[in-house]
Every structure is written in structure tokens, then in C-alpha cells.
Amino acid sequence: MVNAVKGLFISCDIPMAQFIINYDNSLPASQRFIIHVLDSTHLFVQPHAAEMIRSAIAEFRDQNSYEKPT
């Protein structure tokens, strides 16, 4: 029987996919959101996770970018 799950399809580059997978692994089992890792640039995740992933990525990127103090 066909089993359908509603989810979010994420398409990103290779390092970001690794970042999301690593983020997912750092959470306790109950909160993990990745349903399936499709390939190195595509992920299928729980629909509610979008905001969480976005803010995690934003924080990560902020750490890696320098702003000149004024």
C-alpha cells in the first residue's frame, strides 16, 4: 500500500545539506525532522522545520561573516 507523508523538499548546495544533517543529528531523537536524505543536495524534512532550519543557517552564516565596526 502506498504510504504518503506530507513534508518539505529542500534543495541546497552540498555543504548546507551537511549542515542541516549535522543540525538534525544534534537534536534529541524526538525532535529530529529529516524524513529522508534524497541525495547530497536534496533533503525531505518535516514541514514545521522550515523556520528552525532557516534561523540555524542564518546564525551559522553570521558567525562566518565579518562586519567592519563603525
Which residues contribute to the site for other proteins (CB under 8 A)? 12-19, 21-22, 26, 40, 54-55, 57-66, 68
**CA 52 from centre of chain:** 8
How many other CB atoms sit within 10 Å of the CB of residue 23? 18
CB of 52 to other proteins, least distance (A): 12
* 3/65 with CB nearer other proteins: 65
Q: 1 or 15: whose CB is closer to other proteins? A: 15
Rg, the chain, Cα only: 14
Distance CA(56)–CA(19), nearest Å, equals 9
Select 3 or 64, whichever has its Cβ closest to other proteins.
Answer: 64
